[in-house]
Chains A and B, each alone.
Chain A
Amino acid sequence: MAALEILIYPDQRLKQISQPVQQFDGELRSFVVELEQTMRSSPGGVGIAAPQVGCFQRIVIVDLSAKPKIASHGRMVLINPEILSWEGMVKGREGCMSVPDFTGNVMRAERITLGALNENGEPQEYICEGFEARAVQHEIDHLDGLLFLDRLVSRRTDLFRRKNYGSRKTA
């Protein structure tokens, strides 16, 4: 199956608000397959939102399983997703398949609780952190016509994060 065409900003359709999915049928499921195929055909892409392929319905896929070092839920199909709660804010770098050749720093919640339906219309709840939480927030923004460009923070803005040297042992 061929990948769908990705809308590229300044295509104004990316600024449009998407509508909730009402019908959980075979048509929806085959669209989800095509959307996932499109995400996978883009190098480094860990998420995609339906409006990026010109379908203005509240459908998102996030899958970090290609990044084994990062804890994640693997493949998540999120339909009509809602962020139920969030905590912490952290700066991180983002890029977007719809905005080639540009990356920038964006503040996102560090930990979110997420409610969504899967492709069969069954309710799911997830707690996402870090990189995965960032990917989910980036994709849900697409459903509301927002790009990471709408949330860029100044290059000069940097937060002193708590000291965290990862593998380094403290005496």
Chain B
Amino acid sequence: MSKQWYMLTIVGEDRRGIVARVTDALFNGGCNLGEASMMRLGGSFTIMLMVELERSGSELQKLLQPVARSLNLHIHVDSIEGRLHRHREPDVSITVYGADRAGIVARVTGVLAEAGLHILELESDVGGSSENPIYVMHIEGHAGEGIEALRSAMELIECDGIEVNLQPVDTMVG
């Protein structure tokens, strides 16, 4: 079998050593690691990791069985067409915040998608107090129809009492 990339998704209750033990098992199983996003979300630890190896997805799953069992992790494997060096540069960075309420993400991303936004990365968090939670979201993306289209769209969102900061991203190459 030739080398194949997989997207490995792992979720489990957060504890020290998850990354070390998972990546050690992958290394010992002859895997090559690619791009990844790993973070603690609400007490769970989450991993999205590109893994390359010369074996099937079910063998990758088997390789991780011992560590998954001992750390109580849920593991999911998808075979992907993706590969490395396919970065797409963001040209806009958007921060959104406001009192947390149902529908903010759908409203904001709906309006921005309509105005040409292609989201490359999105991170969001809920802060404030339990009684008065605030929602904070940061997006990096590509403005398919230009920055001005997004600026106009922002006004629609801001009418709803949500604060939106939009900054063009101009990458300096030196």
Contact = CB atoms under 8 A, between A and B. Distances in A.
A34 interface: no
Interface string B88-109: 0110010100000000000000
A46 B85 contact: no
B81 interface: no
Given A103-B89, A158-B138, A167-B151, A138 B172 contact: yes
B173 A46 contact: yes
Nearest to A69: B170
B32 interface: no
Interface in A72-101: 92-97, 101
Contacts of A167: 148, 151
Interface in B117-147: 121, 123, 138
Most chain A CB inside 10 Å of its own CB: which residue of B123, B169, B170: B170
A135 interface: yes
Contacts of A95: 171-174
Contact of B174 (A97, A158, A161): A97
29 contacts: A42-B173, A45-B173, A46-B172, A46-B173, A47-B172, A47-B174, A49-B174, A92-B170, A92-B172, A93-B90, A93-B170, A93-B171, A94-B172, A95-B172, A95-B173, A95-B174, A96-B174, A97-B174, A135-B174, A138-B172, A138-B174, A155-B121, A155-B123, A156-B123, A158-B138, A161-B165, A164-B167, A165-B166, A167-B148
Interface of A: 42, 44-49, 62, 70, 92-97, 101-103, 131, 134-135, 138-139, 155-156, 158, 160-161, 163-168
